[in-house]
Amino acid sequence: MTNPNFYIHPITVSTTDIDAMGHVNNVVYLRYVQEAATAHWQARADTTLQTSVLWVVLRHEIDYLAPAFAGETLQAKTWVGETSGVKSIRFVEITNAAGKAVATARTVWCMLDANTLKPKRIEPGMMEPFM
Q: Hey, what CATH topology would domain 7-125 get?
A: Thiol Ester Dehydrase; Chain A (3.10.129)
Residue 57, amino acid: V
Q: Tell me what percent of the residues of the chain surpass a pLDDT of 90.
A: 90
pLDDT digits (tens, 9 = 90+) for 34-75: 999 999 999 999 999 999 999 999 999 999 999 999 999 999
What does pTM read for this prediction?
0.91
Q: How many CA atoms lie within 13 A of 119 on its CB side?
A: 10
pLDDT band, residue 129 (cuts 50/70/90): confident
**Domain boundaries defined on the chain:** 7-125
Q: How far apart are CA 108 and CA 17, in angstroms?
A: 24
